[in-house]
Structure 1
Amino acid sequence: MCSKFRVLFFCIFFCPLLIFYSQLKGQQGSNRSGKLPTQFSIKDYGLKDYIYLSKDLPHSENKSWKLVCQMPYNCQFQPWIRLKSPEGKKISLNSSNPLVLYLTKTEEVATQAGVNTYEAKNWISGEGAVYTIPAGVTVEAVKYRETGYDTKIAGSFECNDDDYNLLWKKGARTAYICMRDHFYDCPDRERVGFWGDGTPELDQCFYAFDTSSYALCKDLVLRPLKAGFYPGQQLEFLGEYGLWFYYMHTGDIQSIGSVYESTKNFLFNTYKFGNKNQWFDWGNEIKDIAVIENCFMYIDLKTLKKMALLTGHADDTVAINLRLDTIKTTFNKQFWKGNYYMSSQVNSPDDRANAMAVNAGLAEPSKWNTIYINVLTKVNNASCFFDRWIFEALCTMGKQEYALLRMYDRYKTMIPCSFSTLWEHYDRWWATRRNAFDDASSLNHGWNPPVILLSQSIAGISPEKPGWEEYHVFPREAFLNSINVVVPSVKGEIKVEMKKTTTEYSLQLNSPLRTMAIVGIPKGSFSSLKSIKVNGTNIWNGSYTGGIKGISWVGEDAANIKFKVSPGKWNFLGLGSLVINSPKPVRNLSVNGIKLNKKSWTAKASVKDSTFLFSGDNIPVDVSAANAIDGDHWTGWRDMSHKQYAGQWFMIDMKKKQKFNHIVLDNTWALWDSPNHYIVTVSKDGKEWGDPVASGTGKLGITDITFPSQKAQFIKITQTGQDSTYNWSIYEIDIYRKK
């Protein structure tokens, strides 16, 4: 939401919600497939060492100074310090993430004389801690206490393209940091339990975390619905993607029964079509809400019908069927425009609306290709949140290759960045409006869906019956040549490994006890499929031949040749001709060089150190030159005097002559503040500067600058271009020499 409205939003919604959520803790129930966790707790991981300190300890100075410390990933933590001090000095402890200032004030501690230890009282979040130390105080040691929801990452996804591996890992870390006493939208700025954020967070629990996470999922399922609290988000939750998703993964029939009446009442009586503030997706750009809400209502009513039959409310199916038929018979007449779906609310087709028509089953397959060509390959209105459903629609259409390419393109600035979590919206834009950078958007937002999309949609692992009594493995790997995935189901770990060459398609499955698995060999991966072997025995050569105990023929459809297998280890091998070709280059994400130690360096710029007022709340944030070399990518330097102009410069004194050939400018936090055009000059004494050793144009987020090896003490980066929209920022600078 817009920054200037956040304070008002907190007053109206946030405080009552905290009371509301605290009342929900501890609700219990049982399930059909075995005992599930019914309570959740917060785990204390103990005091840990930081992985990087901006100063070597012990350290003191004759002026106030900052110690900036790095953790290995974004987490919930409390800073700890041991110091030697006179009495009455004041130190401060906080996260380097400025968004925490929305909810948590910087803690101050008045020192006692001698050597003492202090720990922050309140947990905060981020990837770094900042200690502000007064003159005359010696810091002897620092640590941090990590806490968090008591679950662990038990799932995994690995493939031959590290871009997607990083997305999965960052997605899992993002989901985890947005869990605590309920699902947060983010742990720093708001901590509100929106149903919209909660839907993908719940879904990802079943592919990323162990069964301890199920208690938090159940908490969301049992949460009383609130008519005035963004009803569109609740509509998104009350169907296949929320309630039924939970049931299929847990088998918890009691919880489904307990929410049946409230769900029916919401769908039949509470929800009103066409109201303002329904909220189906991020941003202020035009959304085709009329189409979207019809699709979600249709999905929810289909789910309600299944719930009715499951919980002894079969009589309700007459009314449910009537509503389903009404939507289905009017949908195409009302919204189909020949090449896409569109309501009278908008002037151009929306990718979200057309994807949901596919997902809901309202768009018959004959319309899929024209929707794909005219909308889904041309329109990118969806946010990180809603792109989940565009991705799933593309996979349903058999367009998983484009789905993966679209995912990469939209996440391309998040993949290589130094942050361990995924952001609130793509490229730090406010919604999809270009040139509208939002400094208050979180860099760890729970609604990002790569975990669910890669593990469920691409690896193709999903339950067919509640509680994973039966599930399928239908890979849609597209141009990926190998996938190794673990799904921590309620029945135990499901392990799948897929590899393919130009002649073989190998799929290995380790299936847990008390399950049946339907395995599909994807036809689309082959230009010609000749035979299929299982555990070394040929069982298909155009038709099923059998001969192995524990496996049976299921049949085939347009996508897969399918077999059902009992628990155990199975090795499927498809023989034929496969095309191994990727439209996406695999990038090398590592820097080839040795990073220079910068703890003793100093930095200055062509303008005085200053602060800027952060977001609509006008929170002052320090942007001094020294921040660019403190090792923290959340803190940085910014020229606040003007927008970018020729002659601006930033200079580093490395205190001694060193060899180097590679500079990395990282301004991911202020993504659009890359230098318009720059030159790099070096000096041995800070007075005499030679010709530029490099020049170029800044890149979005991270700018890599390479040049022939130099030996110097001073490095200056000078702006030679101009930009009337953005300031110039360097949020971290690293210098490398050849190995």
Structure 2
Amino acid sequence: MKIQTALLFLMLCIGVYAQGHEWQAKRITAVEGQNESNSWFNFRTEKQLEIVPKKAVARIACDSKFWLWINGKMVVFEGQVKRGPTPHDTYYEEIDIAPFLKPGENCLAILLWYFGKDGFSHKSSGESGLVFQCDEIDLKSDENWTAELNKAYVHTGHLNPNYRLSESNIKFDARIGNFEWVLPGYKGKMPNAKVIAKAQDAPWNRLIKNPIPLWKDYGVREYENAADIPSVGSGEWIECKLPYNCHITPILDIDAPEGALIKMQTDNFDYMGLNVASVRAEYITKKGRQEYESLGWMNGHVVKYYIPEGVQIKALKYRETGFNTEFTGYFRCSNKFYERLWTKAARTLYVTMRDTYMDCPDRERAQWWGDAVNELGEAFYALCPNSATISKKGIVELINWQREDGVLYSPIPEGNWDKELPGQMLASVGYYGFWTYYINTGDRETIAGVYDGVRRYLDVWKLKPDGTLVERYGEWYWGDWGSDIDKQLLFNAWYYLALKGYRNMSELLGNQDEVRRVGNEMAAFKESFNKIFWDSNGYRTANYEGKYDDRAQALAVVSGLAERDKWDKLLGVFKTSHLASPYMEKYVLEALFMMNQPVYGLERMKKRYYKMVDVSPWSTLYENFGDGDDRVGHGTNNHAWSGGGLTILAQYVCGLEPVQAAWETFRVKPQLGTLSYAETGNKTIAGDVSVRIEQSKSEMIIKLKVPYESNAEVYIPNKYKTVKLNNQTIFDEKLLGEGVEYLGKQENSIVFKVGSGEHVFTTN
């Protein structure tokens, strides 16, 4: 019952991928439209209504983005996610527009931005256009709508965004156009729209409902240093500070002569060099008082405005938008460093979510699956349950884009990249990817939908006569950033984790033949792995000549390939090898906690992240750790994969981890190391879960909240002889109390099971 309720909630958040809607609407465009990249279009129609229905669901599709006004009020700020759900199809949005309608004449206006070029997160259809259908008010896009090419949007000169981005720079010439056309009573003339196809004709093909929510609009805000912004332009850049790294659209309120050129960009625009420039904006003024918002989002910690002399500045502001979720998770402890790490990791996670998970929001905006695996794991501890919709979207897309030869690749969606990174693909389909999504959501339907694709990809991999993997280089033989990467050893461990995830999926779906087959393969593979790669001091490939690779040793531990008798040797490797980038450091830290080494785990975490957390001025984490005393990091300063410490702090330091789907049962197995207290909690799909642990040399206190219909397995170190639950002694060398289930001794702990409610365990 618990899983069914949780899954129903998730499906209400996500919507249904398969649609039974009939589309009578036509795909329309402006007569002047030539499918040129970075084109903008105005669409407008009126609708007479005698009564307003209680609900009026508009289905809207476009390539690439749209903004919707009804009766002069903004209804949707940047609708549509990037193409596509498959290599051929297109998403559409569903919006209830009833609250914005009125009896009498209603004016609907839509501004459309056609990217017209491919990128690492978008595949252009090659055809701009709009589809609109609202059955409740009998309104459909057709030749009776009006449409025009918005000629006020023009092209900037050099410097343009790098080839990874499908977005272009935005330049608006206020001498040519304005936004009066979105208002009721507009007197201008717009030509009738041109019908170019039926809604689901090629090249858009099937229209599939966008499974993630519309963006959260935080509203228009003032900059942190608003009081210091000058009242007149000087021909110098004005730096306006944001409270943290976020997605923003810059806003102007000025009084200007005609023809002044204003430039807008963030501090992240070109901080890495000319070959990776991000997006920027320009505005040419009309004469007099004017307000303008550049609608394409950019990100950074500072928004920079170049305003010429003679332009009066009334106000410079910004609008923050982002993925529609909440920061419901938290972590607190007796050492502020780890709290700051959590906060920066959560901000990094959020700024790398929008149309898809992405590696970074400026250089690429690309859904690399190595990053996505780390991100989806963090989201279940930091964000509210609807953040799972972006994980589901990514999982379904990855399999939908599978090549005919069974190979998976990322980033997807894409229009100018098709290269497999074998290690990242194994990570995506395996235990830390698809299975982590399932264990947190209970979404069996999605796992069933992608199951055959996972099997097809695993079938691509073959074994040598010695039982280990045949080398597969893919199109990019990549294991991690950095040096001394024992790639073949890494891929063998990733393959075992992929088998582990697939075996779990097979068991979930009742495919017992596959459970037995894969279980036997895993046992044989584990034996071969240890025979071929272990050399008495650590794991290494025979032809690998570098240091013992801490990344590969970590995967051997977390996958279960390395037995306990090897842990002492591996601990020595972890204390001397610091090769992992932030991408793989998460697994190194996880291995240390799985080896019951919380003291060194916390020590290493602080040593590796210290510069990013306490030296870097930024609110987010860098792509790489950096070298030397003066380098706090390098690469992008907001990189998704760097937040793995967030997961470790919740899952291992506080010990909070689901063991049955949808948090029906979860584990509380804290490892505080040198901390005197730590606490974490979040709104899971089952309800609110929280735990606070206090420890001293002589006692431990665990305060726990378990949601309705859930259970918790609580691990108490067996050095404590007496255990009380809510002030009643339940254990004193043996089980005494009632209302609690004793699960026996496991490793160095005694384990109890409790049901829903608030519980306080005390020991001495």
Question: TM > 0.5 between the two?
Answer: yes
| Separation of aligned partners in 2, 1:257 and 1:387 | 31
TM-score between both structures, scaled by the size of structure 2:
0.68
Which of 193, 198, 212 is the equivalent residue of 1:39?
A: 212
| Separation of aligned partners in 2, 1:27 and 1:343 | 46
2:616 paired with 1:444: no
Q: Using the TM superposition, give the Cα deviation of residue 65 of structure 1 relative to its aligned residue in structure 2, in angstroms.
A: 2.1
2:216 paired with 1:18: no
CA contact (8 A) 1:55 1:67 kept: no
Structure 2 counterparts to residues 601-620 of structure 1, below 5 A: none
Which of 708, 711, 719 is the equivalent residue of 1:513?
A: 708
Deviation per CA, 1:82-106: give whole Å up to 9, x if none: 1111111111111122348845443
Which of 212, 215, 232 is the equivalent residue of 1:60?
A: 232
Q: Using the TM superposition, give the Cα deviation of residue 415 of structure 1 relative to its aligned residue in structure 2, in angstroms.
A: 1.2
Structure 2 counterparts to residues 532-611 of structure 1, below 5 A: 532-547=723-738, 549=739, 551-575=740-764
| Separation of aligned partners in 1, 2:493 and 2:265 | 45
| Structure 1 residues 196 and 27: alpha-carbon distance in aligned structure 2, compared to 1, 3 A threshold | farther
- Aligned residue in 1 for 2:610: 412
Structure 2 counterpart SS, 1:368:
helix
CA contact (8 A) 1:27 1:39 kept: no
| Structure 1 residues 513 and 293: alpha-carbon distance in aligned structure 2, compared to 1, 3 A threshold | same
- Aligned residue in 2 for 1:353: 552
| Separation of aligned partners in 1, 2:211 and 2:737 | 44
- Aligned residue in 2 for 1:186: 360
Structure 2 counterpart SS, 1:259:
helix
Which of 688, 694, 697 is the equivalent residue of 1:499?
A: 694
| Separation of aligned partners in 2, 1:188 and 1:26 | 29
TM-score between both structures, scaled by the size of structure 1:
0.70
CA contact (8 A) 1:290 1:345 kept: no
Q: Using the TM superposition, give the Cα deviation of residue 214 of structure 1 relative to its aligned residue in structure 2, in angstroms.
A: 0.9
Q: What percent identity do the matched residue pairs reach?
A: 31
- Aligned residue in 1 for 2:346: 172
| Structure 1 residues 263 and 20: alpha-carbon distance in aligned structure 2, compared to 1, 3 A threshold | farther
Q: Using the TM superposition, give the Cα deviation of residue 67 of structure 1 relative to its aligned residue in structure 2, in angstroms.
A: 1.6
| Structure 1 residues 511 and 435: alpha-carbon distance in aligned structure 2, compared to 1, 3 A threshold | closer
CA contact (8 A) 1:356 1:389 kept: yes
Which of 641, 647, 650 is the equivalent residue of 1:455?
A: 650
| Separation of aligned partners in 2, 1:52 and 1:328 | 58
- RMSD of aligned Cα (Å): 2.6
2:224 paired with 1:51: yes
- Aligned residue in 1 for 2:265: 94
| Separation of aligned partners in 1, 2:687 and 2:288 | 54
- Aligned residue in 1 for 2:106: none
Which of 546, 552, 566 is the equivalent residue of 1:367?
A: 566
CA contact (8 A) 2:533 2:539 kept: yes
| Separation of aligned partners in 2, 1:541 and 1:80 | 66
Which ranges in structure 2 are unaligned for 5 or more consecutive residues?
A: 1-116, 126-165, 167-203, 403-407, 410-418, 463-468
Letter paired with 1:503 = S
Structure 1 counterpart SS, 2:730:
strand
Structure 2 counterpart SS, 1:363:
coil
Structure 2 counterpart SS, 1:98:
coil
| Structure 1 residues 521 and 38: alpha-carbon distance in aligned structure 2, compared to 1, 3 A threshold | farther
CA contact (8 A) 1:54 1:69 kept: no
Deviation per CA, 1:167-222: give whole Å up to 9, x if none: 00100000000000000100011111101010011111111111111110101221
Runs of 4+ in 1 over 4 A off after TM superposition: 20-28, 277-280, 434-440
Q: Using the TM superposition, give the Cα deviation of residue 27 of structure 1 relative to its aligned residue in structure 2, in angstroms.
A: 6.5
Letter paired with 1:452 = T
Letter paired with 1:356 = L
2:492 paired with 1:321: no
| Structure 1 residues 544 and 99: alpha-carbon distance in aligned structure 2, compared to 1, 3 A threshold | farther
Structure 2 counterparts to residues 698-737 of structure 1, below 5 A: none
2:399 paired with 1:208: no
| Separation of aligned partners in 1, 2:720 and 2:476 | 49
CA contact (8 A) 1:461 1:471 kept: yes
| Structure 1 residues 254 and 56: alpha-carbon distance in aligned structure 2, compared to 1, 3 A threshold | closer
Letter paired with 2:323 = Y
2:306 paired with 1:111: no
Structure 2 counterpart SS, 1:413:
helix
| Separation of aligned partners in 2, 1:336 and 1:476 | 29
| Separation of aligned partners in 2, 1:278 and 1:562 | 46
Q: Using the TM superposition, give the Cα deviation of residue 290 of structure 1 relative to its aligned residue in structure 2, in angstroms.
A: 2.0
Comparing 187-196 and 310-319, the one that deviates more: 310-319
| Separation of aligned partners in 2, 1:247 and 1:161 | 33
| Structure 1 residues 499 and 26: alpha-carbon distance in aligned structure 2, compared to 1, 3 A threshold | farther
2:430 paired with 1:239: yes
Deviation per CA, 1:363-409: give whole Å up to 9, x if none: 11011111112x11100110101011111111111111111110100
| Structure 1 residues 408 and 332: alpha-carbon distance in aligned structure 2, compared to 1, 3 A threshold | same
| Separation of aligned partners in 2, 1:559 and 1:136 | 74
Q: Using the TM superposition, give the Cα deviation of residue 24 of structure 1 relative to its aligned residue in structure 2, in angstroms.
A: 13
| Structure 1 residues 261 and 497: alpha-carbon distance in aligned structure 2, compared to 1, 3 A threshold | same
Which ranges in structure 1 are unaligned for 5 or more consecutive residues?
A: 1-12, 29-36, 576-739
Which of 472, 475, 486 is the equivalent residue of 2:667?
A: 472
| Separation of aligned partners in 1, 2:437 and 2:421 | 21
Structure 1 counterpart SS, 2:228:
coil
| Separation of aligned partners in 2, 1:458 and 1:27 | 41
Q: Using the TM superposition, give the Cα deviation of residue 269 of structure 1 relative to its aligned residue in structure 2, in angstroms.
A: 2.0
